[in-house]
Structure 1
């Protein structure tokens, strides 16, 4: 009897081992749990699980930000996946800015997989403010917020466009921007996020607002990536809006095997339409955004792009 129990136990153990061999576990380092980018990571994890019949399981981890995500590539394993702007990868690989004196050879092993929604700048103003362009913001009360990408970027643009010390900057938290705009405490606010941004949707609901559009010269001055927010994205928005953006990409390292990188990338694009149906921010993601990746793309992902007829540039291969 003991012999048979041992045989059965061994058989079960082998079966479990075989099942585990068929399943690959990935760790996805994303953003703070309160961030839309954390929610995006959760949606990607669910989509990948569905597309691969649970053969690829993605566990999402909270992060304090993109710098932490990049830094962790120095000691994470082959199945580590993370989000960050391409510009930050470039800084890490060259030991500049926040990565000065923190360089690591493994930063050179970082490889891109696919783009996700960019951080798009929104300059939102009330219709009654009579602001139609950036110059019109002079002598108006504008909320920038503080400590966010949008706040820092907005302050930079105000200086670039000759509006420094000409705008009344409201000392109000960004979380209070919508009610402050609706009750006339401020003339406008600046925010960044993937579109459609929830706070901009809220602001445009029941109140006439405008989202300022950048000229091509202004976009060139910012040295950011141009992004078009299509007409109809927000209530009352009848034309396309030209704005600036910070591209965001999902990365891994070259330590990830080609088959896993291929499967993960294919699963993302296979499920993107389904994700777009439930979360509109995915609608703005297209393969054209691969041009925002100025570093190397993982060979496994590159194989998928070749199969669907997309040509990668020399720098990406």
Structure 2
């Protein structure tokens, strides 16, 4: 019996030591991999300081219409500039387009500030103020609908139209999320390992041009589950609750591009129809596609947006 326990202890110690070596190796691999990817990411945009950290803003287009469109990405957008190029490239001939990357997104810094609706809206406002932008059209995807709605209520008179690309609404179903496992997987380097050949590789959407594939992969491995994004993910339920008391101004032109078939949320169409009907000049277009409508339907979205703005938005003199 004594020999059995002796061998048993050796086996247990061996397993523990092996596990620690593997975890340490994975941790080191993750750290080195992220540092390497960061060096390969090409710089773009303009940085503005907000609460001691940098928010990146990609600004393009002169715009014959003399209008500015402020564009906000959806939650966890891996590489905002690449993801929204299909839209910004089609808008820039007629508008100045300002793509704001909140903290944790794209080339923006991470932050220790809690990811609440109030904090994120305040940061976006400060970034726009730093560029003298206080008269613009809001355009956004997914959860950006919540932040745009909150911004409009917090800083009235700045945004003069609301363009939603399958945007979230405060009353849609949303449940608290535990990010412990995701945070641990990121810290240990597990995700970096599974997204690096020969162990695996990130999924790159078909809309990404060949010349941008490597950059998209670097962003994916570097920013997918950073602490700032995970903090926002953990707060999503509260973020939606905080916006439930807000509504759009009656005189604000609103155009919602909405996914026609959303199986997880059967009331998706009805919720957006209600939002569009809450204003004097509200419009909704159903599109047969996935949540990321701007990937495959950018031409339709931009064409409709231009026509809508030409009809309902008064141009600056």
TM-score, with structure 2 as normaliser: 0.29
TM-score, normalised by the number of residues in structure 1: 0.29
Which has the larger share of strand?
A: 1
